[in-house]
């Protein structure tokens, strides 16, 4: 019945089985990473993006849900900085499944490489975030192919034998241009894609609702665009004879969505904004039984994709 889907995805030495992880930013602390890593249907865990120094992020409001159901966020890469994170992580590593560290630098490729070295090897792979639309210069490295190339090469060098996944920005005319630059520089996988830059004008104030004014759009309304982007990257891989793997992320909330990404050319997928709906869900379902948590959705997705009883 229908196509069968790969039970695992190998990205160099990284094995995701099943080929499903969370998207960066929806789990933020080592205890959360550990807890999520024990869920059925999860093949890997991705950390929240880490930068070198501690950052408070933007002032609230940093998230808004638009009338059309899409989510706009401008968290601004808030976090404890790499050294504190590495200290906290030491007590929790390894997890039940491979842990992928997400790393960014607003400064330079060398600075991103320094962050990777400070992680002391406690990761299975690096996800290089060159695509955050919410910090100054956050996605510049993903928009300029020369910078994409420099960041990818520096990350590969710092991660040594571990794999580097490059998270692309959709905020370019042609995603295959930075995609090809990352592939030429040795990326083991390309992840399609980070959030779309957007704004939300509050109808009551007629002003941008987010303190940062603009944010990154995520959720179901970016899925169709990202499917086209995955197809474009898959065509570029084929035409160029590349071997990199493709990750698909954006709006996935179940097996049907996952299949669309696999059919478009993705080798693994990530679940993000669906998490947001999870927390109110815990409360909502007291009165609306039948609503699923992310944990239940992932279990069902695994059963539906691979035919195992949940
Ligand atoms: C609140 C929030 C925080 C995010 N934080 C990060 C982050 O730290 N690093 C990153 O690479 N992407 C981050 N993202 C983007 C997601 O990882 C993902 O690429 C995007 O949300 C699309 O997937 P989705 O529609 O399933 O959410 C964040 C998204 C949201 C909504």
The pLDDT tens digits of the residues spanning 158-212 come to 999 999 999 999 999 999 999 999 999 999 999 999 999 999 998 889 999 888 8
Count of domains forming the chain: 1
Q: Is residue 167 part of a domain?
A: yes
Return the ∠ at Cα 94 (arms to 10 and 11), rounded to 5°: 10
Mutate to test the pocket of ligand 1, among 21, 26, 77 (most ligand atoms within 8 A of CB): 26
What are the DSSP calls for 213-228, one per residue?
SEEEEESGGGHHHHHH
Give the pLDDT confidence score for residue 132 in this predicted structure.
87
Q: Is residue 175 part of a domain?
A: yes
| Separation of CA 2 and ligand 1 centre (Å) | 31
What are the DSSP calls for the chain, one per residue?
------S-EEETTEEESSSEEEPTTS--SHHHHHHHHTSTT--BEEPPPB-SS-B--PPSP-EEE-TTS-EEE---S-B--HHHHHHHHHTT-S-SS-EEEEE--SS-HHHHHHHHHHTTT-SSEEEEE---TTSTTTTHHHHSHHHHHHHHHHHHHHHTTSEEEEE--S-SS-THHHHHHHHHTT-SEEEE--PEEEE-EETTTTEESSTTSEEEEESGGGHHHHHHHHHHHHHHHHHHT---EEEEESS--SHHHHHHHHHHT-SEEEE-THHHHHHHHHHHTTTSTTPPPHHHHHHHHHHHHH----
pLDDT tops 60 at residue 292? yes
Mutate to test the pocket of ligand 1, among 169, 195, 215 (most ligand atoms within 8 A of CB): 195
Give the pLDDT confidence score for residue 165 in this predicted structure.
98
Q: Is residue 206 part of a domain?
A: no
Site residues for ligand 1, CB cut-off 6 Å: 23-25, 48-49, 63, 71, 73, 75, 102, 129, 167, 194-195, 218-219, 222, 249-252, 271-273
> What is the pLDDT of the chain when averaged over all its residues?
91
| Separation of CA 303 and ligand 1 centre (Å) | 25
132 is catalytic: yes
- Cα separation, 71 vs 86, whole angstroms: 30
The pLDDT tens digits of the residues spanning 118-144 come to 999 999 999 999 998 877 777 889 999
Q: Whose CA is nearest to atom 7 of ligand 1?
A: 25
pLDDT tops 50 at residue 35? yes
| Separation of CA 104 and ligand 1 centre (Å) | 13
Question: Whole-model pTM?
Answer: 0.93
Give the CATH number of the domain where residue 232 resides: 3.20.20.70
Q: Is residue 207 part of a domain?
A: no
Give the pLDDT confidence score for residue 280 in this predicted structure.
60
Give the pLDDT confidence score for residue 1 in this predicted structure.
45
| Separation of CA 101 and ligand 1 centre (Å) | 14
Q: Is residue 16 part of a domain?
A: yes
Mutate to test the pocket of ligand 1, among 81, 129, 272 (most ligand atoms within 8 A of CB): 272
**Is residue 207 classed exposed, middle or buried when 0-12, 13-18 and 19+ CB atoms within 10 A define those classes?**
exposed
The pLDDT tens digits of the residues spanning 64-118 come to 888 887 889 888 888 999 999 999 999 999 999 999 999 999 899 999 999 999 9
Question: Which is nearest to 223 in space by CA: 99, 108, 70, 111?
Answer: 70
Q: Is residue 63 part of a domain?
A: no
Q: Is residue 67 part of a domain?
A: no
pLDDT tops 50 at residue 290? yes
Give the pLDDT confidence score for residue 40 in this predicted structure.
92
User: Which is more confident, 288 or 71?
Assistant: 71
Q: Is residue 209 part of a domain?
A: no
Lowest mean pLDDT among 25-29, 52-56, 83-87, 275-279: 275-279
User: Which is more confident, 212 or 9?
Assistant: 9
Question: Which is nearest to 226 in space by CA: 185, 199, 179, 191?
Answer: 191
Q: How confident is the model at residue 287 (pLDDT cuts 50, 70, 90)?
A: low
Give the pLDDT confidence score for residue 63 in this predicted structure.
86
Give the pLDDT confidence score for residue 310 in this predicted structure.
43
Of 50, 132, 164, 227, the catalytic one is 132
Share of the chain above pLDDT 90, in %: 73
Domain of 146 in residue numbering reads as 9-56+79-198+219-306
* Average pLDDT over every residue of 44-56: 95
């Amino acid at each position: 019945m229908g196509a069968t889907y790969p039970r695992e995805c190998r990205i160099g030495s990284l094995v995701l089985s099943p080929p499903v992880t969370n998207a960066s930013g929806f789990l933020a602390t080592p205890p959360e990473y550990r807890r999520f890593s024990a869920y059925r249907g999860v093949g890997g865990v991705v950390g929240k993006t880490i930068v070198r120094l501690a950052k408070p992020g933007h002032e609230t409001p940093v998230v808004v849900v638009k009338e059309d159901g899409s989510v706009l966020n401008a968290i601004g890469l808030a976090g404890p900085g790499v050294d504190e994170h590495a200290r906290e992580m030491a007590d929790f590593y390894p997890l039940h499944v491979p842990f992928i560290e997400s790393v960014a630098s607003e400064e330079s490729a060398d600075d991103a490489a320094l962050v990777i070295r400070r992680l002391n090897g406690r990761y299975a792979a690096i996800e290089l975030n060159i695509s955050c639309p919410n910090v100054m210069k956050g996605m510049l490295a993903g928009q300029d192919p020369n910078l994409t190339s420099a960041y990818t090469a520096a990350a590969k060098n710092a991660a040594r034998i571990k794999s580097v996944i490059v998270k692309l920005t959709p905020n370019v005319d042609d995603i295959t241009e930075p995609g090809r630059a990352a592939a030429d520089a040795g990326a083991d996988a390309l992840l399609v894609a980070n959030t779309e830059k957007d704004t939300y004008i509050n109808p009551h104030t007629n002003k941008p609702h987010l303190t940062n004014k603009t944010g990154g759009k995520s959720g179901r309304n970016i899925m169709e665009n990202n499917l086209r982007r995955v197809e474009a990257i898959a065509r570029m891989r084929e035409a160029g004879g590349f071997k990199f793997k493709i990750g698909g992320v954006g709006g996935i909330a179940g097996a049907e969505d996952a299949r669309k990404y696999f059919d478009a050319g993705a080798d693994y997928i990530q679940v993000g904004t669906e998490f947001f709906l999870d927390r109110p869900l815990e409360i909502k379902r007291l009165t609306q039984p039948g609503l699923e948590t992310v944990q239940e959705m992932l279990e069902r997705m695994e059963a539906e994709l691979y035919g195992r009883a949940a």
